[in-house]
């Protein structure tokens, strides 16, 4: 008989210990926390920091796929200028900061 199978067999009438029963579940939870939950929390903090640092002139991408330049920033809303149109969005609709202060860059390029 292989030693692995010999260790797996228990004496009749004995119950496995609580630690050996719950250890695989505990290890699985720890691994899932490290690989799934922690990175998501870090990403969320980074996105929230990006949204709080938005300012007029930043080029952004919205959740609707609209790319524009921020014209006005409130505590909860931002106005995004796309061409001749201004559209109001909640800050949570801003998914990505494409360029910081793109208006200043644009003015410098045109000089």
- For the chain, the average pLDDT equals 85
Q: What's the domain count of the chain?
A: 1
Q: Do the domain assignments include residue 46?
A: no
* Residue span of the structural domain in which 80 resides: 54-110
pLDDT score at 1: 47
What CATH number should be reported for the domain holding residue 79? 2.30.30.100
Q: Do the domain assignments include residue 82?
A: yes
The answer, as to whether pTM is greater than 0.75, is: no
Using CA atoms, how far apart are residues 27 and 94, in angstroms rounded to an integer? 37
pLDDT score at 95: 95
Using CA atoms, how far apart are residues 42 and 85, in angstroms rounded to an integer? 34
pLDDT tens digits along 27-79 = 999 999 999 999 999 999 999 999 999 999 999 999 999 999 999 999 999 99
Q: Do the domain assignments include residue 33?
A: no
């Amino acid at each position: 008989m292989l030693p692995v199978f010999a260790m797996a067999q228990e004496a009749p009438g004995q119950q496995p210990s609580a630690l050996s029963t719950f250890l695989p579940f505990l290890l699985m939870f720890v691994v899932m926390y490290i690989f799934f939950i922690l990175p998501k929390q870090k990403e969320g903090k980074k996105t929230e920091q990006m949204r709080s640092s938005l300012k007029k002139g930043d080029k952004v991408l919205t959740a609707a796929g609209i790319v524009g330049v921020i014209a006005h920033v409130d505590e909860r809303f931002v106005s995004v200028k796309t061409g001749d149109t201004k559209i109001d969005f909640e800050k949570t609709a801003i998914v990505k900061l494409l360029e910081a202060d793109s208006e200043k860059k644009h003015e410098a390029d045109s000089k």
